[in-house]
Amino acid sequence: MTSSSKRNQSIFEATNRPERVFEVPKENTGKTMKVSEYFGDNVFDFRTAEGIPEAVRVELLKVAKISGKKLKREHVEVVATAATEWATQRGATHICHWFQPLTGSTAEKHDAFLAFKGDKPIEKISVTQLMQGEPDASSFPNGGSRSTFEARGYTAWDITSPMFLTESTNGKTLCIPTAFVSYSGQALDVKTPLLRSINRLDAAATKFLQLTGKSDAKNVMVTCGAEQEYFLIDKAFVAARPDLVMTGRTLFGSLSARNQQLSDHYFGEIPERVLSFMQELDHELYKLGIPAKTRHNEVAPSQFEMAPIFNDANVSADQNQMMMAVIKKTAAKHNFEAILHEKPFAGINGSGKHLNWSMRDDKGNNLLEPGSEPHQNLRFLAVMGIVCEAVYRHGDTLRMAISGHGNDHRLGGHEAPPSIISVFLGDTLNHIVEALLAGKTFTPDDKKFVDVGADQLAQLMRDNTDRNRTSPFAFTGNKFEFRAVGSSQNIGFPMSVLNAAVTEVFNESNTWLEKELGAGKSVDQALQELTLKWIKNCKPVIFNGDGYSEEWVKEAAARGLPNLKNTPEALGVLTQKDRISYLTEMGVFKAEELETRYNVLIEKYVLAREIEYRTQMEMVNQYVVPSALEYKAELLASVNASKQAGVDFSIEKELLSMLDQTFQKVYSECSNLKRALETVDLDEHVTAAAKFAEQLMPMSESLANQCNELEELIPDHLWSLPKYREMLFLR
Ligand code: ADP
Ligand code: MG
C-alpha cells in the first residue's frame, strides 16, 4: 500500500458521486409547487398565524414595535396554544429555545411538547416555557463575568423574530428565537445588544425625521441583507485532511499551478453537482421563510455565494445564522463539506460576508435612497454625512467587531479590504461632497446641471456607484455595504456597533438641529449646514482609491486613521474606556458586557490558534515526515542500485540533497514552533494572544511554506494528503 492510496480513494469517491435528488413539493395533482406556494411553510409568526384573535395580535404588535412595552401572560398563552397546535400538527415533538451565545454559533436546548393533564398525555407548551428558558450558563463562554454560584442563564423569547420548524431525518423541532442573559440581566449573547441598538437607532433616527419635515414619522427600522460566501469541498477530501476537520482551514498545501488566475470560475456556469446542492439549499431556505435571491460562483475555485433579499436587521441576523446552518446541513447531504472559514486555502481568495445596511421609516422609505425631490436629496445627504461621521469616529470599534483569527488571514491580503476602515462614496457622491466642501454647486459629468439639493440625484446615483471592491465600507446606491465582515461571523455584533455609532451622531445632529431650527433656520438650510459640518469633520475617512495599495496604508496613517493589524490588536480597543464609552452611553452594551466580550474573544483567539499550531505539528509528524522518509529511502535504494550496477547516480544525489535541505528545515521549524508554544503561558490570554499573533503566527506560516516545498519535491505516490488541485477542482 503506497502513502497515496488513501488519497486516491478520496479522489475516486469525490469524482464518482451520484447526484442527490430531493423531493420537490408537489400539489395533489402532481404538479410542482411554485416557491410562492410553500415559502415560509415552516415559519410560525404571530403576525400571520391562524388561531390568534385580532385583538391579541394588535397587542403583541405593540410589544414588538415599542420598546419597553411588556408582554402579557394571557397573550403569550394564546400564542403558546396556537404554536403548539401548528407545530404538532406538522409532526414536531419538541420545542427549543434557539439562541446565540458568544461562541459565535447558535445553541439550542430541546424540551418535549409532551405534558400530562392528570394521567392523560397531551401536547402543550406553557407560558413560561415559551417566554423563558434556563439553560445552564456555566458551560458557555462568559469571560469570567459570572461567579460559579451565578451559573444560571435565561433565554427570553424574542417576539420580533418568527419561530421556525427544523426538520431532520427522524423528526421536527419548533425553534424559538431567544435572547440569552445572565441572572443579573447581563447580555450573554449577540442578539440582546443588537435589539438594544435597533431600538436606540430607531428613537434617534425617528426624531431626526420629525425634526426635518417628516412630523408624522413613527419609527425607523434598520434593514440588512448579508451576502454569504462559502467553499464546497467533497467530504472525502475533508475527511483525509486533519487540518480541515480540526480547524476549518488547510494549515499547509502547495498552491496548484492553476488556481484563480484565469478568472474562469467567477460567475461561470455553476457545476452540476453544486447546482443540485444550491437548488435543495434554496428550497430549504424558502420553507424557513428566508428569501434567498442570488446564487453564483465566486472568484476562487470551489467558492460560491448566496444572498437573500434584505430584511429587518434582527430577523436578517437570525436568518444569516440559520442560513449558515442550513448551508452546512444541506451540503452534507450532497457529500460536500461547506467551509465557512474566512481563509480555508492560502494563495486564493477567502470568504467574507457583505453586510448591506440601511434604514427605512414606517412608510417604507429608505433613508439612504437619494430620492427625486430636492428636500429628499438634502435629507439623504445629511444621513449620508451622519453615517460617514459615525464610521470616522468609531472605525476602531468597527474593526474590533469584525476581528477573529480567520479574518486575520483575509483583511489586507489583496483580496479583501485592509484593516483600515474607510468609506467609499463613488464618483457622483464624491463630486457632491467636494462641491459642498468648496462651497460650490455641483455639476455632474454628463453636463446635466444639477444643483446640490436639486432633483435627479437618485438616477445619477444609481448609475454612478461604480464598484470598488477594495473598500471596507462602501455606498452602493441606496445602502452602505460593510465588506470586511468574515464569512463565519455573526453579523449581529458588527451591526450593533455600527448602529450605536450612527445613533450617537444622530443624537448630536438632533440637538444641533433643535437649536438651529429654534433660532429660525429653515429645514433645508439646516440640513445643508449639518451635512457640511459632518463632511468637513470626517473628510479623512472618505477614500475612493485603491484600498489594497501600499500607498493607502501610508496615506491612512498620515490621515490619522487607525490600522489595527490583527485580532489581539483590534480587541485591545475594548480595553480603552474612552474608545468604547459611547457603546455604553448609547445603551447598547453595559460596561461589564464589553469586558466579558473582550475576555471571551481573546480566549477564543488563543484557543483557535493553539489548536491550529498543535494540528499543524501533528500533521508534520504523522504525514509529512513519513512521506519524506519514504522518499529518502527510495532515493537511497536507487543510489545503491546504481552503485552496484556501476552507473551514474548524480541526479539521485542532487535530489537527495534538495530533499535533505528542505526536510531539515521542516523538522527544525516544527521543533522551534513546539518549543515556542511551550514557553507561552496559555492561561494568560492577553499575553498569549499577542505572542501568538506576533511570534508564533510567522513561525507557523514559514513552516507551512517549507511543507509546501516538500510537497512539491516528493513524488505524488508518496504524498498522503489530498492536494489543493484535487480538493479545489475535483468533484
Ligand atoms: P449587489 O450588486 O451587491 O449584489 P444588490 O442590490 O443585489 O447588490 O444587494 C445586495 C444585498 O443588499 C442583497 O442582500 C439586498 O437585499 C441587500 N439590500 C438591498 N437594499 C438594501 C437596503 N435598503 N438595506 C439593506 N440591504 C439591502
Ligand atoms: Mg454586494
172-202 per-position pLDDT tens digit: 999 999 999 988 889 999 999 999 999 999 9
Percent share of the chain, pLDDT over 90: 76
pLDDT of residue 135: 72
pLDDT value at residue 548:
87
Residue 151 pLDDT > 70: no
- Fold of domain 228-249+260-351: Creatine Kinase; Chain A, domain 2 (3.30.590)
Q: How far is the CA of 468 from the centre of ligand 1 (A)?
A: 15
Its sign, for the CA torsion 429, 227, 487, 601, is positive
User: Could you tell me which residue, 525 or 184, shows the higher pLDDT?
Assistant: 525
pLDDT mean over 39-54: 94
The Å distance, Cα 19 to ligand 2 centre, comes to 30
Q: Is the CB of 491 under 6 A from ligand 1?
A: no
- Of the chain, the percentage scoring pLDDT greater than 70 comes to 93
Report which of 597, 706, 701 is spatially closest to residue 145, judged by C-alpha positions.
Answer: 597
Considering Cα of 460, then 463, then 468, then 472, what sign does the dihedral take?
Answer: positive
With the most atoms of ligand 1 within 8 angstroms of its CB, the residue from 356, 384, 424, 481 to mutate is 356
Q: What angle do CA 593, 595, 596 make, to 5 degrees?
A: 60
Q: In the predicted model, what is the mean pLDDT of residues 259-283?
A: 85
311 CB near ligand 1 (under 6 Å): no
- pLDDT given at position 411: 87
User: pLDDT, tens digit, for every residue of 672-703?
Assistant: 999 999 999 999 999 999 999 999 999 999 99
Ligand in nearest proximity to the CA of 469: 2
pLDDT digits (tens, 9 = 90+) for 47-69: 999 889 999 999 999 888 766 67
pLDDT at residue 467, as a whole number: 66
The pLDDT of residue 443: 59
Distance CA 11, CA 645 (A): 38
422 dihedral zone (left: phi>0; alpha: psi -120 to 50; beta)? beta
Q: Mention every residue, 6+ apart, whose C-beta is less than 8 A from residue 194.
A: 313, 314, 317, 492, 493, 495, 496, 499
Q: How many helices (H) and strands (E) does the chain have?
A: 24, 18
Q: In the predicted model, what is the mean pLDDT of the chain? A: 91
Domain boundaries, the chain: 39-189, 228-249+260-351, 606-729
Q: Is 348 left (phi over 0), alpha (psi -120 to 50) or beta?
A: beta
Residue 208: pLDDT band with limits 50, 70, 90: very high
Q: Residue 449 has what pLDDT? A: 42
Q: What pLDDT score was predicted for residue 187?
A: 93
Pocket flag, ligand 1, residue 355 (CB < 6 Å)? no
Spell out the residues 6+ positions from residue 564 whose beta carbon is closer than 8 angstroms to its own. 396, 399, 400, 403, 419, 570, 572, 573
605, three cell numbers = 483567539
Please say if the pLDDT value at position 23 is more than 90: no
Q: Is the pLDDT of residue 374 over 80?
A: no
The secondary structure of residue 722, as a DSSP letter, is P
pLDDT digits (tens, 9 = 90+) for 426-484: 888 888 888 888 887 665 554 444 455 555 566 666 555 556 778 899 999 899 999 99
pLDDT digits (tens, 9 = 90+) for 274-317: 999 999 999 999 999 999 999 998 888 999 999 999 999 999 99
CA 355 / ligand 2 centre spacing (Å): 8
Q: Which residues contact 488 (CB under 8 A, 6 or more apart)?
A: 104, 248, 324, 340, 341, 342, 351, 404, 406
Q: Distance, CA 307 to ligand 2 centroid (Å)?
A: 9
Please tell me if the CB atom of residue 662 comes closer than 6 angstroms to any atom of ligand 1: no
Cβ atoms within 10 A of the Cβ of 633, count?
Answer: 11
What separation in Å is there between the alpha carbon of 310 and the centre of ligand 1?
6
Of the ligands numbered here, which is closest to the C-alpha atom of 485?
2
Q: Above 60 in pLDDT, residue 150?
A: no
**Fold match flag (228-249+260-351 vs 606-729):** no
Contacts of 208 (CB under 8 A, 6+ apart): 383, 506, 509, 510, 513
From 298, 469, 479, give the residue whose CB has the most ligand 1 atoms within 8 Å, as the site to mutate: 479
CATH of domain 39-189: 3.10.20.70
Please give the pLDDT value at position 149: 44
**Range 604-621 average pLDDT:** 98
146 HSE (CA, 13 A, CB side): 21
- What's the pLDDT score for residue 446? 47
CATH number for the segment(s) 606-729: 1.20.120.1560
Query: Separation of 435 CA from ligand 2 center, angstroms?
Result: 28
pLDDT surpassing 60 at residue 264: yes
What is the arithmetic mean of pLDDT over 191-220?
A: 96
Determine whether the shortest distance from the Cβ of 332 to ligand 1 is under 6 A. no
Determine the pLDDT at residue 148: 40
Contact between residue 347 and residue 218 where contact means Cβ atoms under 8 Å apart:
no
E strand or H helix at 320: helix 313-333
How far apart are the C-alpha atoms of 665 and 443, rounded to whole Å?
Answer: 62
How large is the average pLDDT for residues 485-493?
A: 97
